[in-house]
Structure 1
């Protein structure tokens, strides 16, 4: 799905206006390129309207905001150390897409010979979707343009240098802040996550409670966390049903390669952690062992 930004004084863009936007066939591009080599590709733009569309293309930096929610911040090109903008070239920089027409944008990614780790960039496609007239006398009225930009995010990894690693700690299990289960005994399982590698990581995680007979008493999923190198976030999983009192092994599995799987480019490493857990009546947490 494309990411839209409304510029130049527009506070609200209707669905009808959004439908006037050209759209691209790739909103995310993952590129793996060896040091000193170049990778090539194309982005296809499609104009679904009966009007020709003028588009201006330009690069910017981006990064995930703290917290791991996936929210992003965009900055001028070459603003941050993880910028891939100096490595990326594209053509053309301005296009006119005819009514119901298509346009291909060619790009190349050139990794320096000493490059390591990952770099990131955004290729924006900006177009005018509406012209308005400000209220006032004829002498003082002025046009107010509404420009919209859509983006393709670039994730560039340097082949043979990627470290996709992370740290999990600070396991905490307590009554959920929101009690939604039928017994009103929901429990939250939380962990701190830190990206200790040199590339982006999107997580996919799960937890299981195994009883003394080796049977699964509870199982659930954690939220996904989105980070750049050094980024941190919190994993949260919730169990809503009653668990029989007793001793359990808590098994936590976190896949660090969700982004690769989603892109169809491979798989990432998996972290598995365990801790002993004793549960009392009504899901009361009696004891939590050390995370190992």
Structure 2
């Protein structure tokens, strides 16, 4: 592979270490993001471009964000785009979207676990997604599946609901649904603006029967709607690409199809499909 666009990189504030599962992504500050990305430089050097995930719903309300962004691109020269969560309050979110647009953020993200998005909030979330799509943002939905709240916050039900109302921008299902990849397949098959992102799930399920199903699903959906990502630092770029190579070889992807997955698709999306 000649170029890699890692679509899912987190600037995580670690309280202890990566294996303690004690993170504070919803509380990251501009200072912590800059410091963490600076420490990541050697690990991210193999990526041509990266998309940074910000999970603090109020991050871009911080004073001095303009100065932060200037420093950010110096600290992380391969940064190509930023995706950010928004407040779930519709009134707050509509104002926040204006700020995100002003600061050059390309996409928004909904994360049911961290944002505690129950079905009672779906109406507001759909309204936020519709407004974001009208403003030209792509939409990411975290579709990992786990924790004791896996039945309280149903991310795929939310994704299906948003897909009923948002047709004009890419909807990116992060982690390809994890162990719910069968439901993701039928949803993506029905909705042509859905893209599947490869982070974490492939490595988590390596060696399981799901490995072959990932290959089947990616082949059926097609290489132009699959996006490489690592979920760094939870999974390294090297481990993510190694596992994805196994799955794409099982799918029979050509060199060009692999280039779509590793680089071309993400580049088109962050440039809003131009």
TM-score (norm 2): 0.21
Considering fraction of residues, name the structure with more helix.
2
Considering fraction of residues, name the structure with more strand.
1
Which protein, 1 or 2, shows the higher relative CO under an 8 Å CA cutoff with sep ≥ 6?
2
Structure number with greater Rg is 1
